[in-house]
Structure 1
């Protein structure tokens, strides 16, 4: 059948969490709102704190800022709409608004993945070539690499969106998810769905596996380098500088790899469980990462202690 009107669907309906009882709409919307505020406050705090502290104007913390920006943007793109659904009963999103949300969802996820690769490169050079670190890995270098990490998904996703828009949509307009993603949208197409999804899947695998492969290889070399350090204290100290990066990387990649592997070995999740799992691994790290930056990174933790210690002293000696 030949379809000429690809905009027959004017709006999409965000289903959210399937089978969720009406009595839980209030608590779920409140929980999502708390999650959104945690993401917003935590990541804005990191951006402002690093900006204001000149001692933190270093490559590592510049990378943290790029990661915080992707987390903040992702939460801002995805959560307000689903919160409004459960809070105000607003489940409708426009046809092009849904595609715009899909664009930013996948663009931000891919950018985050590539920036994690830049972060692994930072640790690789710092540990394997420490004497040349300040020459090889400057703030300018980080800005260029992170800029490329943003640019590649921004340009590539334009093609993915155009492919999706070319599909004829004439069936259901229900998005079985909490936000518009590529599979949820393209599954509603009338024809050529498989071809469009294969192209998008290839892009997703490129953005996931290329950075992950580099990260695994770089940390393998880092571990080999650390084993050559003579003192156990030196080994522990060196590895401790990698802990924030390892935790952030683990939170991003491991749940995704688990879901992909589970699907490949024949273990499938029910639709409600799959949506909950996707929401958890997509949004919880964005709320947790600022805590990791603050309490697992020595320089940020020391600066925070100084700020609060000085403030406490000033309050205690304030007259009257």
Structure 2
């Protein structure tokens, strides 16, 4: 380890990921739940994509956005899990400098995309409930494509300065990262230069993007709730609100771990490092695992199609 922990180099060709410092002896055991979550996420999200592709009745804006969410979840979880398992199972801790910057870019880029997808899904629910007669004319396939491209471009462009700035700093302290993946702040903290530009920019994006998205989601649901409560019967209100249930659950599953992780890192000096690293990993792995379960259980069309596939195979 001392060969890597030197102060005689700048811009190392590799970084060393330590995994979870303090819990090295438990790496193998920790890998079991993480690997299980990843397998569930892979199977669940591919199942969502398969069902939507195979079922023409699901070729609607809501399910197109759901497919975008599934792809984002697949990329997000795959960005960290394979390397993490190689650390836990094979003690393969080295990661190429460029690969490290690519990993931190993908993690932050697709997290921003996922947040944008939830805004798009909230807009879809708003139009479907508050202006149902114009839903098909407002959210045409062309409009859905434009929204999807906007979400992707926003994530790509907002996060692009992360690796560009990080690649400019000289790294002459150490190349050891006490984490399971290349977390942006963990990488730039190794720079032996004034990296405040990276720090301030990432802090601005971390605050601005989710805050803006949560604001638009909240506005959409305030209008949705007003429309629901104006319906004449309780059954009609419950049925209409039920169409938003899976989306609301998915939003909570994404933003609550994000908020918790952010709060834990703000008071990180009072928390053990291994706890903060575990929370950071849970934030990236739990939502991709739970999203397909939520939509599979709460969305009748997907649930019915899934049951039909199982019963059809059994006959």
Q: Same fold (TM over 0.5)?
A: yes
Match of 2:18 in 1: 15
Cα-to-partner distance string for 1:113-171 (whole Å, 9 max, x where unaligned) = 11111011011111111111111112322221011101122123222211111111111
Match of 1:235 in 2: 237
Match of 1:318 in 2: none
Alpha-carbon shift at residue 245 of structure 1 (Å): 0.4
Cα-to-partner distance string for 1:193-250 (whole Å, 9 max, x where unaligned) = 2221101211222221111110111111111111111100000001000011001100
Instruction: Note if contact 1:167-1:191 (Cα within 8 Å) is conserved in structure 2.
Output: yes
Alignment of 1:88-237 (within 5 A): 88-237=90-239
Structure with higher RCO (Cα < 8 A, 6+ apart):
2
Runs of at least 5 residues in structure 2 that lack an aligned partner in the other structure: 1-7
Match of 1:78 in 2: 80
Alpha-carbon shift at residue 255 of structure 1 (Å): 2.2
TM-score with structure 1 length normalisation?
A: 0.91
Alignment of 1:21-100 (within 5 A): 21-22=24-25, 24-100=26-102
Alignment of 1:240-255 (within 5 A): 240-255=242-257
Counterparts of 1:152 and 1:6 in 2: how far apart (Å)? 36
Counterparts of 1:70 and 1:41 in 2: how far apart (Å)? 14
Q: Which moved more, 1:24-33 or 1:107-116?
A: 24-33
Q: Could you say what the CA RMSD is over the residues aligned between the two structures, in angstroms?
A: 1.9
Cα-to-partner distance string for 1:173-207 (whole Å, 9 max, x where unaligned) = 12122111210111111112222110121122222
Counterparts of 2:249 and 2:9 in 1: how far apart (Å)? 44
Alpha-carbon shift at residue 308 of structure 1 (Å): 2.9
Q: How many residues of Structure 1 are paired with residues of Structure 2 in the alignment?
A: 308
| 4+ aligned runs moved over 4 Å, structure 1 | 261-268
Runs of at least 5 residues in structure 1 that lack an aligned partner in the other structure: 316-320
Q: Which moved more, 1:100-109 or 1:5-14?
A: 5-14
Alpha-carbon shift at residue 28 of structure 1 (Å): 2.1
Alpha-carbon shift at residue 260 of structure 1 (Å): 3.5
TM-score with structure 2 length normalisation?
A: 0.92
